[in-house]
Amino acid sequence: MSFRPREETVPPEARQITDVAVMRFEHIYEVDPKLMQEHVRQQPFPNWDTLRVAHSRHDHLAWMHTHWATVVVSGDALLRELDAETGPAD
Amino acid sequence: MSTAAAPGIDDRVLDELAQVVGADHLLTAKPARLHRARVPAPFPVHRWAEHTPDAVVLPASTEEVAEVIRVANRHRVPVVPRAGGTGLTDGAVPLRHGILLDLKRLDAIFEVDLEDRTATVGAGVNMLKLNEVLGKHGLIYPDDPASYPCSLVGGRIGTGGWSLVGSRYGHTRDLVLSFVHVLPTGDVIRAGDGGARKISKSSTGYNLKHLLMGHQGTLGVATEATLKLYPRPEAELSPFWAFEDYDTAHRALREIVRCDVATFAGAVLFDEQKVAYLRRDDEAYIPQPANVRALVCAVLYGNEDEVRAGGTRLLRTARANGARYLGDEISEGDWAARHDRYATPLHGRTKAGQVVPMSWHCEDAAVNWTRLPAVRREWHRIVDELRRDSDVFDDWGMFAYTSARTGVDYLTEIDVGIWEQELDDAAWEAWVRAKREIAQVAVAHGGSISACHGACRAGEVDIVPEELGGAYDVMRQLKRTLDPNNVMNPGKYGLDGAYQEDLT
């Protein structure tokens, strides 16, 4: 969280990612504000709260993995082993 | 024959209910009743009052449940059981008002048997919370609906639940060994394979366990269940693959399932409309290149060495069938999110692209692998017609989930966003017509109206006699025999007809 309140209420500049989505924080996408003009308006949202929501979601997903199994096997690692045996895919 | 069709409860009934459950657990205030009128299934919000119960009771034991049902029989008042209220058909929605039997206080874990690996629990126990207890013993109860954090064991029994990992561990019907069941008369029995509590295969007598599961509260209510437990998996692997078109993904899905990997717990096919929908709002799919038009994921659970060996085989097979692995971050994140789809924030788009608040409605069917492409085409046509006429509806695409490890059939669903604030009688009627057509398509292709949710929703319920044929007449005879006063969830499945005709 920033020291001054105004630093929390001014979001970083939006970067257009697709024709319907923008990004202000790394890997956190938002609906393009131009699509929220008529029926649902965007609300002011402090930066710390945006990050808290995103981090909480990641915490929840990580918790769900450990809830179901002790180890999550990496598909990337298995593919590297497969490539080492047979050569990479075309 | 007199039935409990008339709504309304007089003070005499309320006094008797209060004596059974205690005054603190008899709720008649409007918020308590409105809360328990709907579920996440399609609901005519503009006619909410038609589905509000007259009173809510929260019993704490099988004996109290049985006594509530006896009171209902004495006064011919409808009773609707409700567990987590997460069902995607309207089993827990009162059609004739009456008493809402909320099972949440039946939340005791009575026994964890570490030797025979079973647990005996109340119907109000949630699977996630149960697994937190079982995890300390290295065990798991692997019944895994998309409502895993919020649905309850009793609801899973009443609706005949389907599990995301059912291809490995079976579905609710396989995982519940037996249960205590209060019949519509208030009599209490144990339903299982035979009469014992912890037996998974018996040849004694009729198999009442399956009859008394999935009836949507029309044949009574389960209050306590004995469950089959498994070792908690050492390892999980959940690869997600991208494809350039639906047909390639559909064929690859078949080959992945045919690998017959022992730790295979399920696979999911995302169609092109689903990918297009996710590309609007889902952080995993927004940055995907335009040539990603369909997806398949698989999930494996078990011992780590077996998961690694099986996973390698699936990755090799997927690669040989046109797949591109999406990477660990998406694969792991999306799979973890599948245990908890009810936490997804929901909005849709008008045809002009503007964001509108929408609720999620999911029409499901059981369809064979060979018929998935044809059913998919026809279902999208039906929803396209709805959307063409109205911004109330938005096509959110389709999934197909393996129901069994041989890949014989799939839980096939089309997700539709509905702008509920704009629902009126005309839009609701259009929706019910569409649901009827969706069910007709599934049956016409040799499928079943529902793999998971139940088939008693408005529209599709009209097609149930067509699907079941003579078995529907048996259903009606059973209903009238077991529930002579029609107090248990009257109006569902068209079963009121059982009391109006000569069935002999």
pLDDT tens sequence across B424-459: 999 999 999 999 999 999 999 999 999 999 999 899
Structure tokens, A45: 């949202």
Q: Rounded to an integer, what distance in angstroms lies between the CA atom of residue B96 and that of residue B6?
A: 7
Q: Residue B467's pLDDT is what?
A: 98
CA distance B349 to chain A (A): 9
Q: From the list A40, A69, A86, which residue is nearest B355 (CB)?
A: A40
B85 touches chain A (CB under 8 A): no
Contact B162, B403 (CB under 8 A): yes
**What per-residue confidence (pLDDT) applies to A31?**
92
Structure token pair of residue B275: 């990918």
Indicate the residue of A31, A73, A75 with minimum beta-carbon distance to B325: A75
Q: Which two tokens stand for residue B87?
A: 């069902």
User: Could you tell me if A39 and B350 are in contact, meaning their C-beta atoms sit under 8 angstroms apart?
Assistant: yes
Predicted local distance difference test score (pLDDT) of residue A45: 87
Q: Which of B418, B403, B362 is nearest to B89 (CA)?
A: B362
CB-neighbour burial class of residue B489 (10 A; exposed 0-12, middle 13-18, buried 19+): buried
| CA nearest neighbour of B143 among B111, B116, B121, B113 | B121
State phi, psi for B84 to the nearest 5 degrees. -80, -15
CB B131 within 8 A of CB B141: yes
Query: CA-to-CA distance for B460 and B363, rounded, in angstroms?
Result: 10
Residues A72, B311: Cα–Cα separation, whole Å: 12
Is residue B360 packed enough to be buried (19+ CB in 10 Å), middle (13-18) or exposed (0-12)? middle
Q: The complex's ipTM?
A: 0.93
3-state secondary structure of B112: strand
CA-CA distance, B282 to B284, in Å (whole number)?
A: 5
Is it the case that residue A3 has pLDDT exceeding 80?
no
Q: What is the pLDDT of residue A89?
A: 65
Give the per-residue SS3 of B72-93: HHHHCCCEEEECCCCCCCCCCC
Cα–Cα distances (Å) from B411 to B17, B368, B382, B453, in that order, read 40, 9, 19, 10
Q: What is the pLDDT of residues A22-73, one digit of tens each?
A: 999 998 999 999 999 999 998 888 999 999 999 999 999 999 999 999 999 9
Nearest CA in chain B to A34: B354
- In A, minimum Cα distance to B321 occurs at A89
Of B236, B281, B343, the CB nearest to A72: B236
Instruction: Report helix, strand or coil for B402.
Output: strand
Question: 3-state SS of A33-79?
Answer: HHHCCCCCCCCCCCHHHHHHHHHHHHHHHHHHHHHHCCEECCHHHHH
Closest in A28, A29, A73 to B235, CB measured = A73
Q: Which residue of A has its CA nearest to B347?
A: A40
How far apart are the CA of A49 and the nearest CA of chain B, in angstroms?
16
Give chain B's residues under pLDDT 70.
1-7, 343-345, 501-504
φ, ψ dihedrals at B362, nearest 5°: -130, 115
Q: Quick check: B125 and B149 in contact, CB under 8 A?
A: no
CA atoms of B115 and B122, how far apart (whole Å): 20
* Distance separating alpha carbons of residues B99 and B52, to the nearest angstrom: 10
The reported pLDDT for the residue numbered A20 is 94
Q: Which pLDDT score, from 0 to 100, does residue B1 have?
A: 40
Give chain B positions within 8 Å (CB) of A69.
232-236, 301
With an 8 Å Cβ cutoff, the interface of chain A facing chain B consists of 17-18, 20-21, 27-29, 31, 35-40, 58, 60-62, 64-65, 67-76, 78-79, 81-82, 86, 89
- Chain B nearest CA to A67, separation (Å): 8
State how beta strands B230-231 and B26-27 pair.
Answer: unpaired
Residue B458 token pair: 């408005």
Per-residue pLDDT tens digits for B277-289: 999 988 889 889 9
Please judge whether B336 and A61 are an interchain contact, meaning their C-beta atoms are less than 8 angstroms apart. yes
